[in-house]
Amino acid sequence: MLHRRETDKQSKKISAILTLKEDLVWLFLFFFLKMKSNLSDVFYGLYKSTYKTKDGQTRLLVSTHFEPTSARMAFPCFDEPSFKANYTIKIRREEQHVALSNMPKVKTRKLGNNLVEDHFAETVKMSTYLVAFIVSDFQSISGTTSSGIKVSVYVNPEKLNQAHYALEAAIKILEFYEQYFGIYYPLPKQDLVAVPDFQSGAMENWGLTTYRETSLLYDPETSSASDKLWITMVIGHELAHQWFGNLVTMEWWNDIWLNEGFARYMEFISVDATYPELQVNDYLLDTCFTAMRRDSMNSSRPISSKAENPTQIKEMFDTVSYDKGACILHMLRNFLTDEVFQNGIIHYLKKHSYRNAKNNDLWNSLANTCSEEDFASAKYCYTKNQASKNIHNYYVREHFDVTEIMNTWTLQKGLPLITVEQNEKRIKIKQERFLEGILPDDPLWTSMQTDFLWQVPLTYITSHSKSIGRHLMKNQSDTIELEEDVNWVKLNVDMNGYYIVHYEGNGWNNIIKLLNQNYTIFSYKDRANLIHNAFQLVSAGRLSLDRALDLTQYLQHETSNIVLLKGLGYLEGIYHMVERRNISDVTKSLKQYLLQYFKPVIDRQTWSDEGSVSDRMLRSNLLQLAYDLQYPPCLQKANELFGKWMGFGGKLNNIPSDVMKTVYSAGSETPTGWNFLLERYKVSMSGAEQTKINSALASCKDDANLARLLELGMEGNVIKTQDLPSVIYRVSMNPAGQLLAWNFVKKNWSKLLEKFSLGSFSMRTIILGATSPFSSKQELEEVKLFFASKQEISQLRAPQIALENIEKNIKWLERNLDILRKWILENLQ
């Protein structure tokens, strides 16, 4: 051991420089360091968590969360992803507790005085942020995969009955990944733990994945169809990380999308393969729609972005890394074909196992795929022949380079707008950057278009052929020559590409006419894509709002739940925007129109949990809309169900889980009902039910109760601190609470920063949630002044996004309010 001469503590004590007496000349150097630290009072490092039993006792546990830069809070280390190492962990605990870590326990040594020391097997080589350990009184259920991996789910003992679905799903998905990746899971066990206090949704610690209770526990009586889908997708995400992120890790945080984008995309592939009845691929559309909305703002960023300090690194865990990352992988998979894509990622994982990788390593593996024989013999081949052969069948005579193509999607921000002009046998196309809130007549528009160019794998169908045409667009403008005259063309088939399409001339008129004549001429994914594109183009000032609204009128005949939900979402969003601005005449007439238009499908809904996943999700959304619009039959039924439930003291589970939120919302409107729901929240052992109650409590019209709810979230006893950001968001979405939520954030800013770190998902939710309803110049100026007074957030992206959102809302209303008012009056019966 070398003697330390000096320790220079830096950056709020998160790092130290050791200056040694002599130069390092040895190949191996051993540091023996002792460290003491208190348990963290936030959600990072080694921190304390609590839960309450049914009889009101408070139980303690300790858990870790080290991603991205918090392993240093628990033990001295080179806390960067490229410094992979093997870890040997020993934990001292009281005998009544259970200790868990990444690897199985190999022995326990008794120390006396009710203390024991657990020794865990040495870990595989891994990054610091994946180290994990937990000490608790949890109990578990276990099973074994077909390859002999022990899988266990650990939970609060009183919630053990809610762990069975997670165990089943984890085993099935782990088995699927072993087959899909062609690599056995490398550890002897996989534990899944429901942690009562958890800031993220889940964390992929190798061999010891941790989750919010609502992301792991499924209660058949209170969990809805969407709850089940969410749990399955989160498990799929974290188990995908055991390969993408753990086995192969990005070299630095600027490429965190290699972890998170892949894990997000593998959610869809794995859940579709193991639970096809959940119809998960329908929701890949929404994932890409969400990514596009974020990416269409000037405040967006490239997927691969600079991240040099802990705050910047935390900000990388966002929609761009997760959702856009997943969507460009989906586009690439459809471009390369399934076979080439799968072989390429197997090559990537095998070549870089227990090492770190960059963007180009992935592109090289996807371009240079190997045969099954090469994989079997552990060879790594470097030929483009196989990839070229597969793709040449689709992109005839077109040269392509995977790295060149994908660099245009990862190294520049934004997404392309493809403008189409179709004339008989010729399709003229041009591309530019799509900007949702900045119009071509804006002085800033030209500068924001400079130097943006994508290589776009285009797909299309025409009036004369359902066969998919393909073309790789590399220039600002291009022409596709067809073999025959056509009446119409539709680009981005099944929404497999990451771009917006605008049909010039009579293009949109032709599409609207086709949808009204025979909407099944397009697939349901294409119909959802058309609705999304139309309303995005309205925000960009490229399409008149009345044309987008005309397009939705065919929805009265629509049979796809996913498409109905997409159309409903845009119309409901417009309604809530004018409602929050208190534009009474438009709010009233739009309410009448929505009830007139959706009444037949609302009346067909049953107050039950019957049907497919999409049936159940449509029911939940439609009945909630009917309640928000104060539709009398809905109000009557919701109040009737709530009255019966409250009459039995909340002990009789007679409310179907899919309509629970609507029923609770109705009950929250009376002081008695609101207080009853709060008391039920305190004693409920179901996180799914608590989430629905929380949402209902935030939907009431009583200012005093909304203020009380916010204070309960700040106190962190009845409502856990982890749930405070969602409470602020829900109250702000309530027209009666939007100013209340904003004033609460301003008043408690310092306290919020103590609870949630800068750059974290929680602070992002608070900033965006409290400001997203605003749509006036006065509100914009107030938010600007507040942000300007807080120097600590001057470089964060979230405030930039918040301001751009408000500006976008202002411009939308200025351009479209009169059009909306006129269109509704013309279409009311």
Q: Which pLDDT belongs to residue 31?
A: 78
Domain ranges of the chain: 4-242, 263-410, 416-460+474-552, 703-829
| Side-by-side strand order, sheet with 189-195 | 139-144, 150-155, 189-195, 208-212, 202-203
Nearest CA to 533 out of 521, 518, 551, 546 is that of 551
The catalytic residue positions are 238
Q: Which pLDDT belongs to residue 26?
A: 62
Q: Does the annotation place 260 within a ligand binding site?
A: yes
Nearest CA to 554 out of 589, 592, 521, 507 is that of 521
pLDDT at position 356 over 80 = yes
Model-level pTM? Answer: 0.95
**Neighbouring C-beta atoms of residue 706, cutoff 10 Å:** 24
**Neighbouring C-beta atoms of residue 745, cutoff 10 Å:** 19
Q: What is the Cα–Cα distance from 117 to 397, expressed in whole angstroms?
A: 66
Q: Which pLDDT belongs to residue 493?
A: 98
**Token pair for 620:** 């939940």
Per DSSP, the residues of 585-607 read HHHHHHHHHHHHHHHHHHHT--S
**Token pair for 593:** 């129109």
Average pLDDT over residues 252-267: 98
Identify the residue with better confidence: 321 or 651: 321
Average pLDDT over residues 20-26: 72
Per DSSP, the residues of 761-790 read HHHHHHHHHHHTT--SHHHHHHHHHHHHT-
Crossing angle of helices 338-351 and 359-367, rounded to 10°: 130
Please, is 753 exposed, middle or buried when counting C-beta atoms within 10 Å of its C-beta (0-12, 13-18, 19+)? middle
Indicate the helix (H) or strand (E) that contains 357: strand 355-357
Residue type, 403: T
Nearest CA to 163 out of 198, 213, 203, 208 is that of 213
Nearest CA to 100 out of 62, 142, 71, 59 is that of 62
Cβ neighbors of 26 (< 8 A, separation 6 or more) are none
669-726: pLDDT as tens digits: 999 999 999 999 999 999 999 999 999 999 999 999 999 999 999 999 999 999 999 9
Specify the fold of 416-460+474-552.
Answer: Immunoglobulin-like (2.60.40)
First to last CA, the chain: 86
**Token pair for 71:** 């392993």
Helix locations, 553-630, DSSP H: 561-580, 584-603, 613-628
766-793: pLDDT as tens digits: 999 999 999 999 999 999 999 999 999 9
Q: Which pLDDT belongs to residue 398?
A: 54
pLDDT at position 253 over 90 = yes
70-102: pLDDT as tens digits: 999 999 999 999 999 999 999 999 999 999 999
**Token pair for 356:** 């770190």
Task: Tell which CATH classification among 1.25.50.20, 3.40.50.300, 3.40.50.150, 3.40.50.450 matches the domain 703-829.
Answer: 1.25.50.20
DSSP, res 321: I
pLDDT band at 404 (very low <50, low <70, confident <90, very high): very high
Is 263-410 the same fold as 4-242? no
Cβ neighbors of 140 (< 8 A, separation 6 or more) are 152, 153, 154, 155, 160, 163, 191
Following CA atoms 790, 796, 800, 803 in sequence, which dihedral angle do they give, to the nearest 10 degrees?
Answer: -40
46-59: pLDDT as tens digits: 999 999 999 999 99
**Token pair for 248:** 């192969």
Q: Which pLDDT belongs to residue 370?
A: 44
276-313: pLDDT as tens digits: 999 999 999 999 999 999 999 999 999 999 999 999 99
Q: Which pLDDT belongs to residue 13?
A: 61
Residue type, 752: L
Q: Which pLDDT belongs to residue 27?
A: 63
Residue type, 537: L
pLDDT band at 369 (very low <50, low <70, confident <90, very high): low
Percent of the chain's residues with pLDDT above 90: 85
Q: Does the annotation place 392 within a ligand binding site?
A: no
pLDDT at position 462 over 70 = yes
Helix locations, 127-256, DSSP H: 164-181, 225-241
pLDDT at position 388 over 60 = no
Specify the fold of 263-410.
Answer: Neutral Protease; domain 2 (1.10.390)
Q: Which pLDDT belongs to residue 11?
A: 44
Please, is 146 exposed, middle or buried when counting C-beta atoms within 10 Å of its C-beta (0-12, 13-18, 19+)? exposed
Following CA atoms 387, 389, 393, 398 in sequence, which dihedral angle do they give, to the nearest 10 degrees?
Answer: 80
Indicate the average pLDDT of the chain.
92
464-508: pLDDT as tens digits: 888 899 999 999 999 999 989 999 999 999 999 999 999 999 999
Query: Domain 4-242 class?
Result: alpha beta
